[in-house]
Structure 1
Amino acid sequence: MSNDNKIGQRIALLRKQRGYTQEQISLTLNVTPQAVSKWEKGNALPDTPLLPPLAKVLGTSIDCLLTGDSLMEKVSPYDGDYKKEEYYWGLQHSLLAEQTVKIMQDKANKSLLDIGSGEGRDAIYFAKCGFQVDALEISTPGIKKIRQYSQAAGYEVSILQADMIGYELAVAYDVIYSHGSLQFLPLEQRQNHFDKYKRYTNIGGLNAHLIFVEKPFIKVAPDWEKNEFFYLSGDLAKYYYDWEILWCEEQIVDCNSAGIPHQHAVNSIIARKIERTF
């Protein structure tokens, strides 16, 4: 298979994952739908100046489009757990998700991005509560679980298979949400990611996050990965100093992931984007 065909397959795969038609992509890039069709069939390649906006709208990088670093081949540290029949994180939605829903209950046509959706417990809950949900998840077994749970529950979510690291948002949301996934952000990239989440949130919308905080009196969890990085107390409030902080709490929670009882120190925040008049 030629490299052109492989690039075309990646373009088609990412377009479909994001729910775009060929015509929508063509309008965004100011090309014809026939041009997009030729790319996807491997009969032509996008012109070089089109690669940055094409990668952005598809939520990926130029390298991914050109080198074959397929998102489908990315491996999550939870792949093995997600392949099991039972749900690793269970099906009960989180308290943070419930609080987010209460704050946004009067908003119509609300959109939400769930970063690191895992097996979909919060994403499906949000959809049940009237949100249009984009579930961002890298794990193929995790995505299979999301689809399985979505079908069983009868609530639809849009799945975006991508690595949160370097993921380029294409649209603004009413809520950008994460629950225990942002520890995978490299330390040097955190500020840029939080700036991006804030930038792509509608005025009056929320960012809601739960992160893991380092405490000297709590042992590192048995399933903690080498590419996971703790936060410090106060980090979340620092990122949202210029927003209206509706709720910010730090607590110690019990956990049984990996089948071994342990504890985590976690910090949760719900912050609202306000319109500045100065």
Structure 2
Amino acid sequence: MIHNDSKLGRRIALLRKEKGYTQEKVGDLLKVTPQAISKWEQGNALPDTLLLPPLARLFGVSIDYLLTGESLAGKAGPYDGEYRKENFYWGIQPSELAGQIIDILQGDTANKRLLDIGSGEGRDAIYFAKCGLQVDALELSAPGVEKIKRYSRLSGYAVNVIHADMIGYDLAEEYDVIYSHGSLQFLPPAERRKHFDKYKQYTKTGGLNAHLIFVEKPFIKLAPDWERNEFFFSSGDLAGYYHDWEILRCGEEIIDCDSAGIPHRHAVNCILARKI
């Protein structure tokens, strides 16, 4: 149950103004009246719990942050230090997997929505927006969020940045594409099945899921920037999660990497699958 707290109303008003939205605009997007928005902001009423996921997504925050204003306070992302630097840690060239998605769509991107999970500094999110997709870029790191926004302004391509942790993030609407590139290793193994089921559930029929994950191999040394809260996948995991979809691509390879300034290798598994 949501407690009647005037702080929630003030937070809704502040987030709305930060986005540059009027009460009428928010009401239109949520399919409620502007008077309802006004009552929330004045602390005279509360939004229905079913409206919390779309309201949080509209403002680019987590539901916890919407309710408390504190959920991400002090919660650092693993690359915060790198993302604060002027240069782009991951570069700005889109990934090969991102390009493959665009090739499959064959220019049919109008009114299609994509969720980029663990967007980092936004290299793929901006590329997808440039190709005509409506992009939600989900990122935990506060410096990463600011980097995506800056890159978006510089490039002239708009993305909706969501400052939230992928773990437990509630999807509210269906997407045409759900995508991740080297971020899902932060999902604890016990949480993975639930998250992949959610990604599949919130993908439109005919839509795509595409992921690049890190696979444990005994002959590959641990990367120098590997974090304690990162967990390898095993070969075959992705194919198992998408056994009931049309798998367009699924394969493993060894790639070279120089993140952290130290050359090393990764074993990765990519999948590109279509919901049938």
Q: TM-score w.r.t. structure 2 length? A: 0.87
Q: Give 2:44's aligned amino acid.
A: A
- 2:68 matches 1:75: no
Q: Does the CA-based 8 Å contact 2:215-2:234 persist in structure 1?
A: yes
Gaps (5+ residues) in structure 1? none
Q: Give 1:74's aligned amino acid.
A: K
**Which residue of the partner structure matches residue 194 of structure 1?**
196
Deviation of 1:230 (Å) = 0.7
SS at match of 1:147: helix
CA RMSD across the alignment? 2.5
Deviation of 1:35 (Å) = 3.1
- 2:128 matches 1:126: yes
**Which residue of the partner structure matches residue 97 of structure 1?**
98
Residues 18 and 87 of structure 1, relative CA distance in 2, 3 Å threshold: same
**Which residue of the partner structure matches residue 243 of structure 1?**
245
Identity of aligned residues (%): 66
Q: How far apart, CA to CA, are the structure 1 residues paired with 2:72 and 2:152?
A: 22
Q: Does the CA-based 8 Å contact 2:64-2:71 persist in structure 1?
A: no
Residues 151 and 180 of structure 1, relative CA distance in 2, 3 Å threshold: same
Q: How far apart, CA to CA, are the structure 1 residues paired with 2:121 and 2:149?
A: 9
Q: Does the CA-based 8 Å contact 1:4-1:45 persist in structure 2?
A: no
Deviates most, 28-37 or 141-150: 28-37
Q: Does the CA-based 8 Å contact 2:13-2:41 persist in structure 1?
A: yes
Q: Give 2:165's aligned amino acid.
A: D
**Which residue of the partner structure matches residue 138 of structure 1?**
140
Residues 261 and 199 of structure 1, relative CA distance in 2, 3 Å threshold: same
SS at match of 2:200: helix
Q: How far apart, CA to CA, are the structure 2 residues paired with 1:29 and 1:93?
A: 33
Residues 33 and 204 of structure 1, relative CA distance in 2, 3 Å threshold: same
**Which residue of the partner structure matches residue 39 of structure 2?**
38
Residues 9 and 211 of structure 1, relative CA distance in 2, 3 Å threshold: farther
Q: Does the CA-based 8 Å contact 2:62-2:162 persist in structure 1?
A: no
Q: Give 2:46's aligned amino acid.
A: P
Deviation of 1:5 (Å) = 4.3
Residues 219 and 14 of structure 1, relative CA distance in 2, 3 Å threshold: farther
Deviation of 1:203 (Å) = 1.1
SS at match of 1:148: helix
Gaps (5+ residues) in structure 2? none
Residues 194 and 240 of structure 1, relative CA distance in 2, 3 Å threshold: same
Q: How far apart, CA to CA, are the structure 2 residues paired with 1:20 and 1:138?
A: 24
Q: Deviations over 1:63-110 (max 9, x none)?
A: 544444344653211111100011000011100001111001242422
**Which residue of the partner structure matches residue 271 of structure 2?**
269
Q: Deviations over 1:183-215 (max 9, x none)?
A: 111211111111111111111110000001111
Aligned partner of 1:173 among 164, 172, 175: 175
Corresponding residue pairs, total: 268
Deviation of 1:231 (Å) = 0.4
Q: How far apart, CA to CA, are the structure 1 residues paired with 2:252 and 2:73?
A: 36
SS at match of 1:156: coil
Q: How far apart, CA to CA, are the structure 2 residues paired with 1:263 and 1:257?
A: 10
